[in-house]
Structure 1
Amino acid sequence: MIVTIQLHGKPMRVELSAAAERALAQRTNPLFAEVQLIFGCMIAKRVWFRDEPVTNAVAVNSRLNVWFRPARYAKACSFDDIDNGAEASDYPVAGDRGRFVPDLLSIDYRGGKFVGDFTYSMDEFRAQQAFRDLPN
């Protein structure tokens, strides 16, 4: 399944694998996916999944909701801490948060759990299209 949603005024394509679609169909409650761009000593990205509702989440369908969060961690350079439950705080973004929203979110279901990744690959495509559309 491929669906395009709007997060902070920017389109984001959401691609669900067949396994993810089957796993979502078996759920009684919606799943919430947090797309997290992490700012620290380096930029990192994670997709976290939870059952608890989130106010600003956008529905992909009746079983999946997504939201985007620029974040930072107290030990931003410790991926072990980040991946093992450290609490994030919001990263203060000056201006439009939409400029950080990724173009593509991919969600799969492997080993009994949801996994996700996101990319900004469409930016390159848009730039190429804009260049081609320029008058000679």
Structure 2
Amino acid sequence: MAGAGIMSGRAVSPARSAEWRVTLSPAARRALDARAAPLYVEMELFFSCLIRKRLLWDRPPPADTVPLPSADGHPQLVVWFHPVMARHCALPNDAALEDLPLMDFPLSRREAFRPHWLRLDYRDGAFCGEFGW
């Protein structure tokens, strides 16, 4: 997936909103400043035989999605948490994940699973990052 990756190195520009924190590298902040449209960031938590997490880029959120507050106040950042599950247990390779039929995973205590932080960077012309608890 283009633009996906793990961010490492020093983090800057932290901002907090309750238990939610976004950290932007200087390169990510410059890239966001240069955008004409918002950057949509989906934090997907995938439940199947195993649990996997990943960031998905520039897919507008579904109409009923409630974005997390842009804790750093950047107007070009829209982030939301999306727990999903496979319709059946499968361990496909990464290429097959794009076509795997997924459905929303109903969590009775969504806040217990919602990530507490997101770190974004911009490298080689693409956003990358990681999230966690």
TM range (shorter): 0.7 to 0.9
Q: Which structure carries more relative contact order (alpha carbon 8 Å, separation 6+)?
A: 2
CA distances 1:83-122 after superposition (whole Å, capped 9, x unpaired) = x4645321121x22010011211111112111121122xx
Q: Percent identity?
A: 36
- The counterpart of 2:68, out of the listed 32, 40, 58, is 58
Q: Which has the higher helix share?
A: 1
Report if the CA contact (8 A) 1:5-1:13 is conserved: yes
The alpha-carbon distance between structure 1 residues 76 and 116, as it changes in their structure 2 partners (threshold 3 A), is: farther
SS at match of 1:48: strand
| Residues paired across the two proteins, number | 114
Report if the CA contact (8 A) 1:32-1:57 is conserved: no
1:13 aligns with 2:27: no
CA RMSD of aligned residues (A): 2.0
Stretches of structure 1 lacking an aligned partner (at least 5 in a row): 121-136
Q: Which has the higher strand share?
A: 1
SS at match of 1:58: coil
SS at match of 1:25: helix
The structure with the largest alpha-carbon Rg is: 1
SS at match of 2:50: coil
TM (normalized to structure 1)? 0.73
